[in-house]
Chains A and B, each alone.
Chain A
Amino acid sequence: MVLVGNLKDLHLANIIQLNCMESNIAKVTVSSHDGMGYLYFAEGQIVHAEFSPYIGERAVFEMLAINDGQFKVEAGVQAPAHTIKRPWNSVVLDSLRELDEKREQSLPSPQKISAMLSGQKSIKNICVLDHDGKLVEGKLDERIDSDFLAFIWYKIKKILTLFNTENINYTYLKDHWGYLFIIEFQVSLIFIETDLNIIVDDFVTAMSKTLKSIK
Chain B
Amino acid sequence: MISEFLNDMTQIEGLEAIALYRSDNALIDTWSEPNFDQNIFDLVSIHYFQIFSILGTGFRDFQEVVLAHSQGKIYARVLPDLLLVVIVKSSVDISLVRLIINVKIADLLKSRKLQKILKKVSKKSINFLQKKYLDDSEIVLLNNIKSR
Q: Which residues of A pack against B, CB within 8 Å? A: 133, 141, 143-145, 147-148, 150-152, 154-156, 158-160, 162-165, 167-177, 180, 200-201, 204
| B13, chain A: closest CB distance, angstroms | 17
Verify B68–A170 contact, CB threshold 8 A. yes
| B77 (CB) vs chain A CBs: closest residue | A174
Contact A147 B44 (CB under 8 A): no
Give the nearest-CB partner of A148 in chain B: B54
Which of B51, B63, B71 is close to A152, meaning CB atoms less than 8 Å apart? B51
From A158, which residue of chain B is reached at the shortest CB distance?
Answer: B47
Binary contact track B14-39/A, C-beta < 8 Å → 1, others 0: 00000000000000000000000000
Main secondary structure of the interface of B (DSSP, over half): mixed
CB of A172 within 8 A of CB of B44, answer: no
B4 within 8 A of A: no
What would be 19 A-B contacts, judged by CB atoms less than 8 Å apart? A133-B141, A145-B145, A147-B141, A151-B54, A151-B138, A154-B141, A155-B50, A159-B44, A159-B47, A160-B69, A163-B72, A165-B70, A165-B71, A172-B66, A173-B55, A174-B62, A174-B63, A175-B64, A200-B94
Cβ 8 A contact of A147, one of B63, B137, B148: B148
Residues of A within 8 Å of B58, CB to CB, are: 143, 145
B67 touches A159 (CB 8 A): yes
B87-103 interface code vs A (CB 8 A; 1 in, 0 out)? 00010011100000000
Instruction: Give the contacting residue for B70; candidates A148, A154, A159, A167; CB below 8 A.
Output: A167
Asked if B125 is an interface residue, CB under 8 A from chain A, the answer is no
Q: Which of B40, B93, B137 contacts A162 (CB 8 A)?
A: B40
A95 vs B64: C-alpha distance when bound (angstroms): 48
- Chain A, residue nearest B64 (CB): A174
Q: Which of B67, B72, B137 has the most CB of A within 10 A?
A: B67
Are A169's CB and B60's CB within 8 A?
no
Report the separation of the CA atoms of residues A160 and B50 in the bound assembly, to the nearest whole angstrom.
Answer: 15
Give A148 to B59 CA distance when docked, in angstroms.
9
Give min CB distance, B60 to chain A, whole Å: 5
